[in-house]
Chains A and B, each alone.
Chain A
Amino acid sequence: MLKYFLARLLTFVPTFLGVTLISFAFIRVLPGDPIIVMAGERGLSDERYAELVTQYGFDRPIWEQFWDYFTGVLQGDLGTSLVTKKPVWDEFFTLFPATLELSICAILFAMLLGLPAGVIAAVYRGKFFDRALMSTALVGYSMPIFWWALLLIIVFSGNLGWTPVSGRIDLLYFFPPVTGFMLIDSALSGQDGAFVSAVRHLILPTIVLGTIPLAVIARQTRSAMLEVLSEDYIRTARAKGLTPSRVNGLHALRNAMIPVITVIGLSVGTLLAGAILTETIFSWPGIGKWMVDSIFRRDYPVVQGGLLLIAVMVMIVNLTVDLLYGLINPKIRKR
């Protein structure tokens, strides 16, 4: 297992190098100049422009800029935002917990509903439940997030008043962030009702963000289960007289899990990369909106640093998924 882990870890190195280069190049390939965007309609004189270019170091050879960036990255320095003038690293770690918290909730929501739904649909293949579930999943998968979120807000927050419209917690609660995770911080704050408020604020964004992964997981689980259920060893297990719940739950599900975990891993990656629309609609202070704003402002350090950090997160998730394969299926780790 250790050897398997190390081998996996080694693949990190070229990916990391590639991502560093791509993230640096990506924003520079886009047309548009951060200095001109900053000046807006007002514009600025040629001398002033030249001064700023020198100040930001954009007049130096591109490879030199890259080398500075790269050596900075190796020393844990991602540079400073051109807009807020704060270190990229600080900004990322202020915002990332919000994205992580929401992603975890969304993926748990998707798994808790998606896995059983997929299993049941596979077991009752072709029956009413299966069809209803799979058509719902298709709708969920193709639903425009923006529309879906606004619909939920209008119904549950506007008309029924059950959930708050947006934000992470009621404005009346105010405590300094400790972990950045609102559920934990609100519980630690000891303020009455803070935790409940945080939970209530999580409900709609979790549902909205979890909808697509839920649909994907349910469909993937169903098809993986169907494949496994037609295997010989399942027939054998049934023939041995094992109860259906044991056959489906233990023998079939475990073997169906590999593709499902892959899908879950990929979904987590996508969610971590920032659920831009969900974060924007629910005024959720996460990294998705941060990245988009930075791209529009051509905030080079934030875009390249943010992309790199997100890529590293996704790589970590993928590594974890690879390790999980190994745990579930011993054949993989021996390969």
Chain B
Amino acid sequence: MNVKHLMGATSVALAFAAAPLAAQTLVYCSEGSPEGFDPALYTSGTTFDASSHPIYNRLVEFKTGTTEVIPGLAESWDVSEDGMEVTFKLREGVTFHSNDQFTPSRDFNADDVIFSFDRQGNPENAYNGYSGGTWEYYAGMSMPDLIESIEKVDDHTVKFKLTRPEAPFVANLAMDFASIMSKEYADAMQEAGTPEMLNQQPIGTGPFEFVAYQKDAVIRYQKNADYWKDGVPKVDNLVFAITPDASVRYQKLSAGECHVMPYPNPADIQAMKDDEDIKVMEQEGLNVGYLAYNTQVEPFDNPKVRKALNMAIDKQAIIDVVFQGSGEIAKNPIPPTMWSYDESTQDDAHDPEAAKAMLEEEGVSDLSMKIWAMPVQRPYNPNARRMAELMQEDFSEIGVDVEIVSYEWGEYLDRSKDTDRDGAVLLGWTGDNGDPDNFLAVLLGCDGVGASNRAQWCHEPFDKLIQEAKTKSSQEERSALYKEAQKIFKEQAPWATIAHSVVFMPVRPEVENYVVHPLGGHIFNEVGLTE
């Protein structure tokens, strides 16, 4: 059956036949099943696509297609002079969805905001332990140390008091874990003895209402007719057809069984571009793939040795072979779509001769090292093993002997954190909130040594800059500090920056207004269909 067929027939056949005739149904061939529908409980993009984007809103949101923070459920916000208080003015007249068990009796207000955060941070909250809640993102974004209190000023004003000034805080509240839940629904479910309904039959304020989920098969949503943003959403029904295999997603897209598919096989992209029935959209992903030396171990504690190794790597070959063209060379530790990206950086030229000479100058000979290759495919590195092999070849040209090692993914993540780790690690990062702090401080700050800073690199001049940038609220000032930090990074070379991947998104030609989101989410709020 093709999509046109489906669109005409949907309103008749759906049990939830509230949709008018000629209802439009957008079908998205998603890559996997969501773990649940309460985004704060989980960390995977697949879950966020199915929960936070269609069903919920946040106080502030990312403008789709950018990392710009725009008003969401908060109409405006105000950061105090000292950066210690952030006050949000909430939108009025926003309604929550309803379902079989629940009909809201009041509009969205400050209580919902307080509940949404309190349940994540307060062990006394009845929902703190529900569904085995571990609130990974809330903890991961340092919310427990950062938020001192959340106060209700009036029904439509909420004040966050912080323990320290933190510039990225507002952007953090646009992240999925900060989705606003209905306190009234939570209380009703608590009373009914079924708190887990919050995670299974979600109620939000978002553009789409949850209708049904059949595990590993289909998720259905219908339009939220009372959505607070006029003219959104554009389609009447949204369906996720869960299709784990990329080749099959491609077949479904070309057979018209779905309108949009994520994560095509790199090898299929050319054929898709040649296909008249498919439009391939692309956007640089907000990510970076890198090789992190252990800068605490000889001879990698010498920046010149690291620099020499970086010069030996033929990045173009890696883009061609490993990314098959769906990536671009990284010269900075942050991706080019992010503000404060330093355009002026000169990347290390691929020059094995000079690299060899540089090593000799530093008195390093007969160097042998390990390169760790991840056992899994990630957006920033589709094939770490192959990448490591190419590097092995490059390094052998300058007389460095490389042994490639790998561990099971959990072990890999764990062992690579050790400060006395033997070898350089291939890894990467995908941005959470579009803030440079989320890359530079998390991955290269002194606090991250022994944890997310895989280079174990604590360089005072660099760290001072990024710590200072955190306390400034002007983006211009911060940008200048981050640019300076990138210059230091380049000189010191704790990593070899390898690539930023390009995200491809094949869609049917009748899909209108779809925008590839740099933060990785798949968002259909404003997407329409033409006949």
Contact (Cβ within 8 A) A285 B413: no
> Which of these binds chain A: B103-111, B154-162, B235-243?
B235-243
Contact A174 B216 (CB under 8 A): no
Q: Are A36 and B410 in contact (CB under 8 A)?
A: yes
Task: Name the distance in Å between B524's Cβ and chain A's nearest Cβ.
Answer: 15
- With A37-B410, A282-B248 known as contacts, the answer to whether A80 contacts B241 (CB < 8 A) is no
List the B side residues contacting A290 at CB < 8 Å: 216
B338 close to chain A: CB less than 8 A: no
Q: In whole angstroms, what is the CA distance A298 to B409 when docked?
A: 11
Q: Is A172 an interface position by the 8 A CB rule?
A: yes
Nearest A residue to B42 via CB reads A83
Nearest neighbor of A39 in chain B, beta-carbon distance: B136
* Mask of A19-48 contacts with B, CB within 8 angstroms, 1/0: 000000000001111101111111111001
Given contacts A40-B413, A171-B27, contact A157 B239 (CB under 8 A): no
CA distance A43 to B412 in the complex (A): 11
A153 with B248: CB separation less than 8 A: yes
CB distance from B15 to the nearest CB of A (A): 6
Say yes or no for A219: interface residue by CB 8 A criterion. Answer: no
Query: A33 CA to B417 CA in the complex, in Å?
Result: 15
Say whether B245 contacts A39, CB under 8 Å: no
Contact with A along B424-447 (1 / 0, CB 8 A): 000111100000000000000000
For the complex, give the distance between the alpha carbons of A41 and B409 in Å: 10
Which of B25, B252, B452 is within 8 Å of A166, CB to CB?
Answer: B252
Contacts A33-B414, A42-B452 known; list 16 others, CB within 8 Å. A31-B408, A32-B411, A33-B411, A36-B410, A38-B134, A39-B136, A40-B413, A44-B140, A45-B139, A153-B248, A153-B251, A158-B255, A172-B6, A174-B16, A283-B241, A283-B248
Task: Report yes or no: A174 in contact with B220, Cβ–Cβ below 8 A.
Answer: yes
CA A176 to CA B213, docked complex, whole Å: 10
Tell me which residues across on chain B come within 8 A of A222, comparing CB atoms. none
B132 contacts partner chain A, Cβ-Cβ < 8 Å:
yes
Q: Is there a chain B Cβ closer than 8 Å to A94's Cβ?
A: yes
With a CB–CB cut-off of 8 A, which chain A residues contact B509?
A: none
Is A84 an interface position by the 8 A CB rule?
Answer: yes
Tell me the number of A-to-B contacts counted with CB atoms below 8 Å.
Answer: 155
Cβ–Cβ < 8 Å partners of B14 in chain A: 172, 174
Q: How far is the CB of A229 from chain B (nearest CB, A)?
A: 45
Q: Is A154 an interface residue (CB 8 A)?
A: yes
Known: A37-B410, A172-B9, A283-B241. A158 touches B139 (CB 8 A): no
Alpha-carbon separation in the docked complex, A283 to B242 (Å): 7
Residues in B with CB closer than 8 Å to A286 are 216
**Which chain A positions have C-beta within 8 A of B169?**
none
Q: Does A95 contact B (CB under 8 A)?
A: yes
Q: Judge whether B214 is part of the interface by a CB distance below 8 angstroms.
A: yes
Q: Is the CB of B254 within 8 A of A167?
A: no
- Complex CA gap A52/B14 in Å reads 42
**How far, in angstroms, from A175 to B13 measured CA to CA in the complex?**
9
State the majority secondary structure of interface residues on A.
loop
Instruction: Among B136, B217, B239, B247, point to the contact of A38 (Cβ < 8 A).
Output: B136
Identify the closest chain A residue to B25 (Cβ).
A171
Contact flags A168-179 to B (C-beta < 8 A → 1, else 0): 101111111100
Q: Tell me, in angstroms, the Cα distance from A296 to B131 when the chains sit together.
A: 21
Q: Is B35 an interface residue (CB 8 A)?
A: yes
Give the residues in chain A near B170, CB-CB below 8 Å.
Answer: none
For A150, the chain B residues whose CB sits under 8 A away are 247-248
Shortest Cβ distance from B195 into chain A, in angstroms?
A: 11
Whether A94 contacts B245 by the Cβ 8 Å rule is: no
CB of B63 within 8 Å of the partner chain: no
Which B residue sits closest to A52, measured CB to CB? B134
Chain A contacts to B: CB under 8 angstroms: 30-34, 36-45, 48, 52, 55, 80, 82-86, 91, 94-95, 150, 153-154, 157-158, 161, 164-168, 170-177, 191, 197, 280-283, 285-286, 289-290, 293, 298
> Measured between alpha carbons, how far is A197 from B257 in the docked complex, in Å?
14
Q: What are 16 A-B contacts with C-beta separation under 8 Å?
A: A30-B408, A31-B411, A38-B134, A41-B452, A52-B134, A80-B132, A82-B132, A95-B215, A154-B251, A166-B251, A167-B241, A171-B6, A171-B239, A283-B241, A285-B242, A290-B216
Minimum Cβ distance to chain A for residue B169 (Å) = 18
How far is A38 from B44 in the complex, measured between Cα atoms in Å? Answer: 9
What separation, in Å, do the CA atoms of A154 and B255 have in the docked complex? 10
Is there contact, CB below 8 Å, between B407 and A171?
A: no
Q: Which of A30, A83, A164, A298 is most buried by chain B, counting CB atoms within 10 A of its CB? A: A83
Give B170 Cβ to nearest chain A Cβ, in Å: 20
Choice from A32, A164, A168, A281 contacting B410 with Cβ under 8 Å = A32
- In the complex, what residues of A have CB within 8 A of residue B35's CB? 83-84
The reply to whether A165 and B407 form a contact with Cβ atoms under 8 Å apart is: no
**CA A55 – CA B139 in complex, angstroms?**
16
**Contacts A171-B6, A280-B245 given; does A40 touch B212 at CB 8 Å:** no
Least Cβ distance of B517 to chain A in Å?
A: 19
Whether A280 lies near B244 (C-beta < 8 A) is: yes
Is B373's CB within 8 Å of the partner chain A?
Answer: no
Q: Mark B1-18, 1 if CB is under 8 A from A, else 0.
A: 100011001100111100
CA distance A225 to B419 in the complex (A): 68
From B411, which residue of chain A is reached at the shortest CB distance? A31
Query: What is the minimal beta-carbon distance from B330 to any residue of chain A, in angstroms?
Result: 16
Q: Contacts A83-B35, A283-B242 given; indicate if A43 touches B452 (C-beta within 8 A).
A: yes
Contact A33 B255 (CB under 8 A): no
Please determine whether A165 and B257 come into contact, CB atoms closer than 8 angstroms.
yes
Contact call A44/B1, Cβ cutoff below 8 A: no
Determine the chain A residues whose CB is within 8 A of the CB of B429 once the complex forms. 41
State the Cβ distance, A37 to closest chain B Cβ, in Å.
Answer: 4
CB <8 Å contact, B13 and A43: no
A85 nearest in chain B by CB position: B131
Partner of A157, one of B5, B25, B27, B251: B251
| Interface presence of B475 (CB below 8 A) | no
Say how far A124's CB is from chain B's closest CB, in angstroms.
40
Query: B131, B132, B216, B241: which contacts A95 (Cβ < 8 A)?
Result: B216
Are B216 and A285 touching (Cβ within 8 A)?
A: yes
* Cβ contact within 8 Å between A171 and B218: yes
Residue B202 lies at the interface, judged by CB distance under 8 Å to chain A:
no
Q: Does B146 contact A (CB under 8 A)?
A: no
A37 touches B1 (CB 8 A): no
Across the interface, name the chain A residue whose C-beta is closest to B432: A42
Contacts of B407 in A (CB 8 A): 31
Q: Does B302 contact A (CB under 8 A)?
A: no
- With both chains docked as a complex, state the minimum distance between the C-beta of B250 and any C-beta of chain A, in angstroms: 9
Q: Which residue of B lies closest to A31 (CB)?
A: B408
Would you give the shortest CB distance from A111 to chain B, in whole angstroms? 28
Distance of A323 Cα from B445 Cα, bound (Å): 68
Min CB distance B175 to A, Å, is 12
Interchain nearest-CB distance for A325 vs B (Å): 36
Complex alpha-carbon distance, A84 and B136, angstroms: 14
Are B136 and A42 in contact (CB-based, < 8 A)? Answer: yes
B251 touches A172 (CB 8 A): no
